[in-house]
A and B are shown apart, each in its own frame.
Chain A
Amino acid sequence: EGQLVQSGSEVKKPGESLKISCEGSGYSFPNYWIVWVRQMPGKGLEWMGMIYPATSDIRYSPSFQGQVIISADKSINTAYLQWSSLKASDSGMYYCAREYCSGGRCYSPWGQGTLVTVSS
C-alpha cells in the first residue's frame, strides 16, 4: 500500500506564503490520485482537492478553488499544497492521502498530517 510522509509543522504570519509537501513511497506514485483534506481545530474533515501526478490533472472543491494551489512533482514522488497569502482562518491540520478506490474517490493510506498555525 505504501506510505505518505508530510512535511513538518509550520507557524506563519497572516499574508505570508507557504508550501507544504507530501512524499509517497512504496508504490507507483504517478499513477494514484493524491487528495488534500483540511481539519480545523476540533472540527471535521473537509475535502479540498486532488491531483493525479502522472498528468497533473487537478480537481478542486468549489470551497477551496482559488484559495490554494495543488501541485506535484512526479520525479521526486511529492505532492504539494500552497498558499500565496495566508489568513488566520487557514490554521488547521492538513492531511494528504492516496487513492484507494479507483478514480480518486476514497483514500488510504493517509499522511501523518501537517499542522499549520497562522497568527500575528
Chain B
Amino acid sequence: EIVMTQSPATLSVSPGERATLSCRASQSVNSDLAWYQQRPGQAPRLLIYAVSTRATGTPARFSGSGSGTEFTLTISSLQSEDVAVYYCQQYNDRPSYTFGQGTKLEIK
C-alpha cells in the first residue's frame, strides 16, 4: 500500500499571504494525485486532480504541482473561507487509493 505523508500537520498563514502544503508518496504515483478540501463540519470537496487540473468550481488561487513522489498545493492569496483541512489522495495503486493524513490550514 502506498503511504501518503502530508506536511506540515498545521499551517498558520495571514490573510492575503501564500500557503504551501506538501504531500509525499512512499513510491511513485506518477501524476495520479488529487487534493481535497474539508471545511469544518462539511464533507470533503475535490479541488484538484491529475496533480494540477482544477476541478469545476475551484478558484484560480488554488494550484497544484509536482510529480512522482513529491507534490505541492499552493493557495496564492489566502482567504478566510480557505480555513479547512486539506488531503492529498493517490489513485495510482489499485485497489486502494490512499489519502494523506491531512494538513490543517488556519488563519494567523
Contact = CB atoms under 8 A, between A and B. Distances in A.
Interface of A: 1, 35, 37, 44-47, 49, 59-63, 95, 97, 100-101, 103, 105-108, 110-113
B95 A101 contact: no
Interface stretch (B14-22, B39-47, B67-75): B39-47
Contacts of A101: 34, 49-50, 91
Q: State the majority secondary structure of interface residues on B.
A: loop
Contacts of A63: 96
B43 A111 contact: yes
A62 B1 contact: yes
A110 B43 contact: yes
B102 A44 contact: yes
Interface residues of B, number: 26
Contacts of A100: 46, 49, 55
A44 B99 contact: yes
B32 interface: yes
B101 A47 contact: no
Contact of B87 (A45, A62, A111): A45
A62 B98 CA distance: 11
A110 B44 contact: yes
B56 A46 contact: no
Contacts of B49: 100-101, 106
Given A59-B94, A101-B34, A101-B49, A44 B87 contact: yes
